[in-house]
Structure 1
Amino acid sequence: MSNDRKSIRRKSHGITIDEVASLAKVSPMTVSRVVNGKGNVRDSTRERVMRAVDKLGYTPNLAASTLAAAQNTRIALIYSNPSGAYLRELLVGVLHVASRTAIQLVIDYWDEMDAADERKAARRLAKGVSGVILPPPLCESHAAVQELVKANVPVVAIASGRFHDRISCVHIDEFRAAREMTEHLIAQGHQRIGFIKGRDDMTASELRFEGFRAALEAHGLPLDRHLVQAGNYTYRSGLQAAEKLLSRRVLPSAIFASNDDMAAAAVSVAHRRGLEVPRDLSVVGFDDSSSATTVWPELTTVRQPIGAMADAAVDVLLRSIRSGEQGERSIVDEVFGHQLVERQSVAPPPRTTTGRGRTG
């Protein structure tokens, strides 16, 4: 499957802002001010620039406009993500964009806040930044979003379903990705599949579970509620969930964990119980974070382009800031492609899944 995202970028028409500046005998920044309707440009200079624009047929490059808008722009990234692997990739992506666009990045850590604390923190933050990026799980904090929207601060949520019509979202199709992964396990012959859910307060968690359930239903397989365990996207919660799944008299032949950290934990529990992955138990994850390739065997997982999503979140946010300055704020719902990555953690099921290890 292609992992190309649906893009809101327009293609350049070939003429650059430097060429316009050269013809008009002004700086590229002056051209930017003119084409973006900014002040502090003499009428004679503005006319000269517009003549050059008309002569060359220049169409403003949105990426360049975004870069110009980034100068002296403070953007906050608020995090409290329990998955260290996911957070590292997200931070690297945002920091890369920050260095390229010259935005001023503010990183704020909110740990174990209730709704009242989140409102206070959002009000404080709104006074000093031009926009906010909300990754999971804060991407669906109603308290924080309401305060930021009230303060007219543009917000981009990463990996969130669209739960508010005044913020932008950057995400993958969680339902479809989870359904495809479940169908991959079923195609290998698995019919008794355990599922470790994510946080129950996140749309993405529910969509992944719904995708899992839809695949079972499409193949005429019953949903065994005893094989569905709660998780919290942390390694420790994955340990606890996997212990419950692998303590049953009849074991699942496969476990689908809602992220790689919990899948890695399931592999660890299987090894401790004398089960060989994937001979006795197949395990799959979600995200394709570093956890997927630091465990043995490496995990089959769903790849969502976390770095590219971070890049897009900054891009969308800068465009929203710029459109707000012009009187109408743009709201974007951008869906990225995902990819099922096959590694060594999946095999056909053993002949029997009763008790410890392979008995058949």
Structure 2
Amino acid sequence: MKRKGIKEVAAAAGVSVATASHVLSGTGRPSAETRKRVLGIADELGFIRDASAARLRTGKSNLVGVILNNIVNPFFSELVASLEATVYESGGLTLLATAQNDLVRQEQLLASMVAQGVGSVILSPVHGSTADDLAPVLAHGLPLVVCVRDVVGSRVAFVGVDDEKSGYLAAECLLAAGHRSMVFIGGYPHTTTWDGRCAGIRRALAEGGLPEAACRMMPGLMHPDFAEEKMLSLASQGTLPNAVICFNDDQASGAYRASRKLGMTVGRDISIVAFDNIPQGRILYPELTTVDIQPALIGRTSAEFALRKASPNDGPAPRRTLEPALVRRASVIST
């Protein structure tokens, strides 16, 4: 069946095409009676507004392209749910893709977003991303918001958390419980997130009168299996401390599995702390102590920045660094 266009709606409602256009696009000042009649006729005819045609007329798009590093980690599910809701409430639409921690795939997705005519792009960059990797978007003057992990030297809008303070809170929690040795598992090295958390851990150690070696840094994959494998390996070498910091809450589930295999009870024989504060941490037993880095607020704020439609040439890009907070639960023991 042929889709009804705006001309058919205008004819059926007894108004001009211009008036119908104003009503259906929410512009102009048609009377309440006219607006009601046109919208009613549009519904009866099954009219669907052609967003691409509107974009050609106005030069604006209500599409927000979102490229995430991955969506397997529940942290990103929380983030994108809040982001999408914010865009929807503004009358926009989200176009979502995942780069799977692949620089080439990220480059292709950025170019595809531009080709799809998005009005702005939100990017949670993959490991190794540089300012040059953002060129496909910036060259077209599109607003770009980087979230979670910053891209050094990019000068684009950014929304994330204070990573240094996050690491400090995690380590300080363990030190306050009496631990003097710990391990930090997971996270890609030389990213702003990993570097920041390491710096915070080292600051906490220094304040506690301990050397940097008091926390062994073991970067790598952020999957639960990685934490499990590293803990079992350390245990086989007799070097597993009874305090573990995991890069995220999802990974902490692997640390819990390793503890069970080693005959250790979390919260009694070993302390585990992580980052994110997603619902999964409340499911683990005992409940996981974590640093809340506010994924939902990151998503909402990123969407708000993108919806402002500020181009790279409109002055300094907005940046917001959120404050993390320690959520104390039962996974930390006092020694």
**TMscore range, shorter length:** 0.7 to 0.9
Matches within 5 A, 1:168-179: 168-179=157-168
Match in the other structure for 2:333: 347
| Contact 1:300/1:346, CA 8 A, preserved across alignment | yes
Distance 1:201 1:268, change over 3 A: same
Corresponding residue number in structure 2 for 1:36: none
Residue 167, structure 1, aligned to residue 153, structure 2: no
- Equivalent residues of 2:165, 2:324 under 8 A apart: no
Normalised to the residue count of structure 2, the TM-score between the two structures is 0.76
SS at 2:276 equivalent:
coil
Q: What is the alpha-carbon distance in structure 2 between the residues aligned to residue 253 and residue 113 of structure 1?
A: 35
State the match for 1:54 in structure 2.
none
Q: Cα–Cα, structure 1 residues 277 and 76, in superposed 2: closer, same or farther, change >3 Å?
A: same
Contact 1:137–1:202 (8 Å) recurs in 2: no
Q: TM (normalized to structure 1)?
A: 0.71
Match for 2:301: what amino acid?
A: A
CA contact (8 A) 1:194 1:254 kept: yes
Deviations 1:236-267 (A, max 9, x none): 22222222333332431210112112222111
1: CA distance between counterparts of 2:324 and 2:113?
A: 33
Q: 1:252 aligns with which of 241, 254, 258?
A: 241
Q: CA deviation at 1:137?
A: 3.3
**Between 222-231 and 269-278, the greater mean CA deviation after superposition:** 222-231
Structure 1 SS opposite 2:97: strand
Distance 2:217 2:185 in 1: 6
Q: Distance in 1 between matches of 2:245 and 2:67?
A: 29
Deviation at 1:124, TM superposition (A): 2.6
SS at match of 1:145: helix
Alignment match of 2:322 (pick from 327, 336, 341): 336
Does 2:132 align with 1:122? Answer: no
For the 8 Å contact 1:174–1:204, the answer to whether it is kept is: yes
Aligned CA distance change for structure 1 residues 243 and 118 (closer, same or farther; 3 Å): same
Q: Secondary structure at the match of 1:285?
A: strand
Structure 2 segments unaligned to the other structure (5+ residues) = 1-25, 30-57
Matched, 1:96 2:79: no
- Unaligned runs of 5+ residues in structure 1 are 1-27, 32-68, 350-360
| Secondary structure of 1:264 counterpart | helix
Q: Does 1:266 align with 2:285?
A: no
Deviation at 1:121, TM superposition (A): 3.0
Map 1:139-154 to 2 at 5 A: 140=129, 142=131, 144-154=133-143
Aligned to 1:10: none
Residue matched to 1:155: 144
Alignment RMSD (CA, Å)? 2.7
- The letter for the 1-side match of 2:322 is F
Give 2:207's aligned residue: 218
Q: Choose the corresponding residue for 2:290, options 301, 308, 315.
A: 301
Q: 2:15 maps to which residue?
A: none
2:160 and 2:190 mapped to 1: Cα distance?
17
Hey, what's the Cα distance between the residues in 2 that align with 1:114 and 1:181? 30
Structure 2 distance, partners of 1:114, 1:84, is 19
> Quick one: which of 297, 303, 319 aligns to 1:314?
303
Q: Does 1:85 align with 2:71?
A: no
Q: 1:286 to 1:146 in 2, by over 3 A?
A: same
Which deviates more from structure 2 when the two are superposed, residues 137-146 or residues 188-197?
A: 137-146
Question: Cα distance, 1:138 vs. partner?
Answer: 6.6
Partner amino acid, structure 1, of 2:109? A
Deviations 1:267-319 (A, max 9, x none): 11011110111111000000112331221111100001111111110111111
Partner residue in 2 for 1:135: 124
Q: CA deviation at 1:342?
A: 0.3
Q: Which moved more, 1:219-228 or 1:268-277?
A: 219-228
- The AA in structure 1 aligned to 2:320 is E
Count of aligned residue pairs for this structure pair: 281
Give me the whole-angstrom Cα distance separating, in 2, the residues matched to 1:90 and 1:261: 14
Contact 2:159-2:319 within 8 A present in 1 as well:
yes
- Distance 1:175-1:302 versus aligned 2 partners, 3 A rule: same
Q: What is aligned with 1:186?
A: 175
Secondary structure at the counterpart of residue 224 of structure 1: helix
Q: Secondary structure at the match of 2:78?
A: helix
Residues in 2 aligned to 1:253 and 1:317: alpha-carbon distance in whole angstroms: 44
- The answer (yes or no) to whether the contact 1:171–1:336 under 8 Å persists in 2 is yes
Distance 1:235 1:259, change over 3 A: same
**What secondary structure does 2:331 align onto?**
coil
Q: 1:179, 1:267 → 2: CA distance? A: 22
Instruction: Give 1:357's aligned residue.
Output: none
Shift of 1:226: 8.1
CA contact (8 A) 2:103 2:126 kept: no
Structure 2 counterpart of 1:6: none
Secondary structure, counterpart of 1:246 in structure 2: helix
- The 5-angstrom pairing of residues 25-40 of structure 1 reads 29-30=27-28
Native 8 Å contact 1:324 1:330 kept in 2: no
Deviations 1:132-164 (A, max 9, x none): 111253794545412211222211111123513
Report percent identity of matched pairs.
23
CA distance in 2, matches of 1:271, 1:136: 34
